[in-house]
Amino acid sequence: MDQQQQQSAIQGAKVLMVGAGGIGCELLKTLALSGFHDIHIIDMDTIEVSNLNRQFLFRRSHVGQSKAKVARDAVLRFRPHINIRSYHANVKNPEFDVDFFKQFDVVLNGLDNLDARRHVNRLCLAADVPLVESGTTGFLGQVTVHVKGKTECYECQTKPTPKTYPVCTITSTPTKFVHCIVWAKELLFAKLFGDKNQDNDLNVRANKAASSSKETEDVFERADDEDIEQYGRKIYDHVFGYNIEAALSNEETWKNRRRPRPIYSKDVLPESLTQKNGSTQNCSATDGDDSTTVSAMPLLGLKNPQELWGLTQNSLVFIEALKLFFAKRKKEIGHLTFDKDDQLAVEFVTAAANIRAESFGIPLHSLFEAKGIAGNIVHAVATTNAIVAGLIVIEAIKVLKKDADKYRMTYCLEHPSRKMLLMPVEPFEPNPSCYVCSKTPLVLEINTQKSKLRDLVDKIVKAKLGMNLPLIMHGASLLYEVGDDLDDIMVANYNANLEKSLSELPSPVINGSILTVEDLQQELSCKINVKHREEFDEEKEPEGMVLSGWTQSPATNGESASTSNNESAVDVTESSSGPEIASKKRKLSETQPENHKRETENVESEDDDDLVEIENPMTVSKKKRVA
């Protein structure tokens, strides 16, 4: 009888899948083979060549097509009698509102970013629809169940945002290779090949060093008749030589730090690279080829991306990559942003980061390692995706049967723990301090006289609270709102408010003020208690404001959870020991070693296909289990 009830629940269920990538392909196949008859899929991405090694529903002929549509068509070929509807769209689009979500019996997430996952969590809460979350990072994975009022919601435990670094550390005193990567990617690459009108912290250095080096006012500007190689050497000497010398002139900075070494092209490179390496016209890609495949490595006889280049090789790659950008991709200059799938961009950033690392006495990294750091990549494992997809379906069936006592959060480990690679843990009650599902007020420390409303909107409401269409009220006064139904006068008033300090707003926001922040699309509302604060630590509080009640995950060994001991900023490790799973239910606090800490990671999986949040199962002892 139980089997019949289960099949009836499965066949009668209407399921929403969000994401058709690494986890999504496995999940759709497993749902179809498990007897589900009505499946809807939302995914905004198109298929890339790099997806094909593990997203088995796709073929090379599908490259450039909608993931959701191709996945649907592939499954219907072996399950033609079931209903699958695909949406090639962003789940945050207005049509996917609370009413849309209410039509489903369960929602299954296979997303690749924190913002979208928070959005789906809030819509599920508003629609009172159970959510099964999932995530994979390499060999690690997890599946969690979220049911309104019964288990914690996805946001009851705070997720870390990507690690940011103070500008002064990046531009002046790097101590880790990731600092050099950020400098090369966000400052140098952006300055040379990105939007010329965009503010860039290299401008300050450029102006300071220009006077000492007798360079023109903007050394990054290339004259029309200027030889590309000479321009490349000028940039090289400026950023790795003159700028370092300028930094060394401040003796106070280096009292307790290792002094960097200025590096000039004449000390590393031959007088003429053209004679040594040949012309860029003979490179491995022609003007008709895909620009992202252009590469400097074949020109220099470099084949292995895992080989560690020395200073000379990095310098050669730096110059040749820069020359190729101007020779082969000149039309793109001024509009480029770093892309981890752009071979030439990765080569340039790797070389620049390694030269800077050499200057500051930081260990060098291979192209393969640097690409992982620059793109925050943990390479995906197809087997993990398949295991997690199976676990999602198991939990979805429990939800449909309303078998709450058997719900489990299941963790997939890289190494056995108590002879187990899959560790099930009972779900926990909602966190009473969660501002999303428990409506707990937040506290914001901010300088109300200096900080603008725009800072509050961008850094807090959107970045931290994840609201897409925010509305901000102070008492009965509406300070800010977005929406298509606003008239021009209202839009102008709200835009004017954005540029005012909080204390200068029509309804001044000062110490003790209480703001109401809402997102009508997500049907989410929360209160923010404002506390005026004059000063902030630039190193520890670079945003110039602190939000309590929404907190970062604890750091490990004094570092952000987004960095590991080898500084790759992408690795997640699991302890080899953990709580014993026995037939008798016990609190984790009875078995948890003291040295186990909460570890969460927000990184991109390879090619942005797979969900990417991993939580250590040994860190939940303080949560209250669902009765």
- pLDDT of 578 > 60? The answer is no
Average pLDDT for 472-494? 90
Calculate helix-pair angle for 67-76, 22-33, nearest 10 degrees: 30
Q: What's the mean pLDDT when you consider all of the chain?
A: 81
22 annotated to a ligand binding site: yes
According to DSSP, residue 58 is labeled: -
For tokens 């139980």, the residue is 2
19 annotated to a ligand binding site: yes
* 524, β-bridge pairs: 519
Contact indicator for 596, 575 with CB cutoff of 8 Å:
yes
Q: Map 16-52 to HEC letters.
A: EEECCCHHHHHHHHHHHHCCCCEEEEECCCECCHHHC
Catalytic residue among 124, 168, 412, 526: 168
Beta-sheet pairing, 106-109 with 14-18: parallel
472 annotated to a ligand binding site: no
Average pLDDT for 170-182? 89
pLDDT score recorded for residue 203: 52
Q: Map 459-505 to HEC letters.
A: HHHHCCCCCCCEEEEECCEEEEECCCCCCHHHHHHHHHHHCCEHHHC
Question: If you average pLDDT over each of 157-171, 209-223, 267-281, 492-506, which comes out highest?
Answer: 492-506
The CA-based angle 18-22-24, given to 5 degrees, is 30
- pLDDT of 548 > 90? The answer is no
The model's confidence at residue 218, banded by pLDDT at 50, 70 and 90, is confident
pLDDT score recorded for residue 613: 47
Contact indicator for 596, 620 with CB cutoff of 8 Å:
no
The model's confidence at residue 219, banded by pLDDT at 50, 70 and 90, is confident
* 146, β-bridge pairs: 131
Of 37-41, 66-70, 554-558, the least confident: 554-558
Break the chain into its structural domains and give their ranges. Answer: 3-160+379-425, 167-206+220-271+295-375, 442-548
- pLDDT of 598 > 50? The answer is no
114 annotated to a ligand binding site: yes
**How far apart, in whole angstroms, are the C-alpha atoms of residue 240 and residue 135?**
41
Which secondary-structure segment (H or E) carries 289? none
Average pLDDT for 531-545? 88
**How far apart, in whole angstroms, are the C-alpha atoms of residue 614 and residue 564?**
14
478 annotated to a ligand binding site: no
Average pLDDT for 324-341? 89
**Which distant-in-sequence residues (6+ apart) come within 8 Å of 77 by Cβ?**
none
According to DSSP, residue 240 is labeled: I
Percent of the chain exceeding pLDDT 90 equals 53
pLDDT score recorded for residue 293: 75
118 annotated to a ligand binding site: no
pLDDT score recorded for residue 335: 87
Phi, psi of 553, deg, nearest 5: -65, 150
**Helices (runs of H) and strands (runs of E) counted in the chain:** 18, 18
Which secondary-structure segment (H or E) carries 288? none
Tens-place pLDDT, residues 291-320: 667 899 999 999 899 999 999 999 999 999
Contact indicator for 324, 274 with CB cutoff of 8 Å:
no
Average pLDDT for 574-597? 32
pLDDT score recorded for residue 597: 35
* 131, β-bridge pairs: 107, 146
The model's confidence at residue 280, banded by pLDDT at 50, 70 and 90, is very low
Of 122-136, 324-338, 375-389, 504-518, the least confident: 375-389
- pLDDT of 121 > 60? The answer is yes
237 annotated to a ligand binding site: no
Average pLDDT for 560-580? 30
- pLDDT of 229 > 50? The answer is yes
pLDDT score recorded for residue 516: 94
Q: Which CATH number fits domain 3-160+379-425: 3.40.50.2300, 1.20.1440.230, 3.40.50.620, 3.40.50.720?
A: 3.40.50.720
308 annotated to a ligand binding site: no
Name the residue with higher pLDDT: 239 or 287. 239
Candidates 307, 292, 178, 71; CA nearest to 603 is 178
Of 206-220, 429-443, 513-527, the least confident: 206-220
153 annotated to a ligand binding site: yes
Whole-structure pTM value: 0.67
- pLDDT of 223 > 50? The answer is yes
Question: If you average pLDDT over each of 277-281, 338-342, 584-588, which comes out highest?
Answer: 338-342
CATH 1.10.10.520 fits 167-206+220-271+295-375, yes or no: yes
The model's confidence at residue 70, banded by pLDDT at 50, 70 and 90, is very high
Average pLDDT for 233-241? 94
283 annotated to a ligand binding site: no
Is 188 strand, coil or helix? helix
Of 25-29, 80-84, 219-223, 460-464, the least confident: 219-223
Contact indicator for 581, 420 with CB cutoff of 8 Å:
yes
pLDDT score recorded for residue 247: 85
pLDDT score recorded for residue 388: 96
pLDDT score recorded for residue 2: 76
113 annotated to a ligand binding site: yes
Name the residue with higher pLDDT: 440 or 275. 440
Radius of gyration of the chain (CA): 27
Percent of the chain exceeding pLDDT 70 equals 79
21 annotated to a ligand binding site: yes
Q: C-alpha dihedral over 291, 292, 298, 303, to 10 degrees?
A: -170
Q: Which CATH number fits domain 442-548: 3.40.50.10860, 3.10.290.20, 3.40.630.30, 3.40.50.720?
A: 3.10.290.20
Name the residue with higher pLDDT: 252 or 561. 252
Cα 114 to chain centroid distance, Å, stands at 7
Task: At 145, list the tokens.
Answer: 């169940």
Task: At 65, list the tokens.
Answer: 């097509």
**Which distant-in-sequence residues (6+ apart) come within 8 Å of 164 by Cβ?**
542
Q: Is 168 a catalytic residue?
A: yes
- pLDDT of 43 > 90? The answer is yes
pLDDT score recorded for residue 596: 35
Question: If you average pLDDT over each of 170-174, 355-359, 553-557, which comes out highest?
Answer: 355-359
Classify burial at 327, counting beta carbons within 10 Å of its beta carbon; exposed 0-12, middle 13-18, buried 19 or more: middle
- pLDDT of 354 > 80? The answer is yes
The model's confidence at residue 273, banded by pLDDT at 50, 70 and 90, is low
53 annotated to a ligand binding site: yes
24 annotated to a ligand binding site: yes
Tens-place pLDDT, residues 75-119: 999 999 999 999 999 899 989 999 999 999 999 999 877 888 999
pLDDT score recorded for residue 180: 94
Phi, psi of 144, deg, nearest 5: -130, 150
- pLDDT of 274 > 70? The answer is no
